């Protein structure tokens, strides 16, 4: 029974989140004690559901771009012809961690203008490192016996990569993607400072009007999304690990 408790709690969290996004007015009585001077309890400058979907879209686009570049770089530097480019690749993917997202936004706005594009650049750069490093780890720690068996079976380099290396490394790669997504979910809120449509709008509106309810709404929605997506990707990661024979089924 205890094993089902986390699943039940996640289900409850998902149900409450959906209910709040679809019908936020139901929760107004819970937020009214936080208000002053008859301020609105529910964010009233736009749809919370729409902002949430736009927030997720921004994170998804940036993450897909980071996956493509980071995984490609990691594959290239683990091939004999690309090994010498490993230090350069590490330097490139570390750019996002070297510059704070706010600094990236400040540099990107004069070039790309206000809106979603500067935010995508910041999230893309910030999400590269965990995906690259995990892909590198996954591809360089494969069982030697499995690789020898693949060579003995007459597989080409491309066949070994697509049919053996990437499938076996996928749980580790997915762990990096999971970390990148969670970081991006939180970081995307600052995109609203440059007019991107994210849940940061709700938090900023709350700070500007001293409305704690608004700040709480934006923060809780982002937190709930991070927990649910983290758990979902963790479940997929465990499933892939079992299929690859890397963990037991117990």
Q: Tens place of pLDDT for every residue, the chain, 250 residues?
A: 566 777 788 889 999 999 999 999 999 888 888 887 788 889 988 899 999 999 999 999 999 999 999 999 999 999 888 888 889 888 888 887 788 888 888 889 999 989 899 999 999 999 999 999 999 999 998 888 888 888 888 888 888 888 889 999 999 999 999 999 999 999 999 999 898 999 999 999 999 988 899 999 999 999 999 999 999 999 888 888 887 665 544 4
According to the model, what pLDDT value does residue 128 have? Answer: 93
8 A C-beta contact, residue 203 and residue 31: no
Q: In 10 A of CB 246, how many CB atoms? A: 15
What span, in angstroms and rounded, lies between the C-alpha atoms of 83 and 64?
Answer: 25
pLDDT at 92: 85
121 belongs to a structural domain: yes
* Domain residue limits at 160: 51-243
* CATH number of the domain that residue 234 is part of: 1.10.3720.10
CA distance 62 to 120: 5
Look at residue 38 in the predicted model and tell me its pLDDT.
Answer: 80
**What does the pLDDT read at residue 1?**
54
**158 with 99: CB under 8 angstroms?**
no
d(CA 140, CA 202): 43
Q: How far is CA 26 from the centre of its chain?
A: 29
pLDDT of residue 185: 93
Q: Cβ of 175: how many Cβ atoms within 10 Å?
A: 19
Residue 30 lies in a domain: no
- The pLDDT of residue 249: 44
Confidence (pTM): 0.90
Question: Is position 111 within any domain?
Answer: yes
Whether residue 43 lies inside any domain: the answer is: no
Residue 141 counted as domain residue: yes
The alpha carbon of 91 is separated from its chain's Cα centroid by a whole number of angstroms, namely: 21
Let me know if residue 124 belongs to a domain.
yes
- Matching residue, tokens 């979907």: 53
Residue 208 vs residues 79, 169, 223: alpha-carbon distances, Å: 52, 46, 21
Instruction: Report pLDDT for 246.
Output: 59
> Six-digit token pair at 147?
């690789």
Q: What's the CA gap between 194 and 84, in Å, rounded? A: 39
Number of separate domains in the chain: 1
126 token code pair: 């910030």
Inside any domain, residue 174? yes
| pLDDT score at 240 | 83
Alpha helices for 23-47 (secondary structure H): 28-31
Residues 223, 122: Cα–Cα separation, whole Å: 20
Residue 13 lies in a domain: no
Task: Work out the number of other CB atoms within 10 angstroms of the CB of residue 33.
Answer: 9
CA separation for the pair 131, 64 (Å, rounded): 11
Length of the chain (residues): 250
Q: What is the DSSP letter of 165?
A: I
pLDDT for res 2:
63
């Amino acid at each position: 029974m205890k094993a089902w408790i986390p699943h039940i709690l996640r289900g409850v969290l998902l149900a409450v989140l959906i209910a709040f996004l679809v019908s936020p007015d139901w929760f107004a009585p819970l937020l009214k004690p936080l208000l002053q001077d008859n301020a609105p309890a529910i964010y009233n400058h736009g749809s919370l559901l729409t902002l949430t979907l736009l927030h997720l879209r921004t994170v998804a686009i940036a993450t897909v771009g980071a996956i493509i570049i980071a995984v490609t770089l990691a594959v290239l530097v683990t091939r004999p012809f690309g090994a010498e480019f490993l230090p350069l690749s590490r330097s490139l993917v570390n750019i996002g961690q070297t510059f704070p997202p706010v600094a990236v936004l400040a540099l990107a706005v004069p070039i790309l203008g206000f809106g979603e594009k500067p935010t995508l650049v910041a999230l893309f750069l910030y999400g590269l490192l965990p995906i690259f490093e995990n892909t590198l780890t996954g591809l360089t720690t494969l069982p030697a016996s499995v690789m020898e068996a693949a060579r003995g079976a007459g597989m080409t380099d491309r066949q070994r990569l697509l049919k053996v290396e990437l499938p076996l490394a996928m749980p580790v790669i997915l762990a990096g993607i999971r970390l990148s997504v969670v970081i991006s979910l939180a970081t995307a809120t600052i995109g609203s400072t440059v007019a991107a449509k994210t849940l940061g709008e709700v938090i900023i509106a709350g700070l500007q009007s001293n409305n704690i309810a608004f700040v709480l709404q934006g923060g809780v929605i982002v937190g709930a999304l991070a927990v649910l997506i983290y758990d979902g990707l963790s479940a997929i990661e465990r499933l892939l690990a079992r299929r690859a024979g890397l963990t037991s089924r117990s």
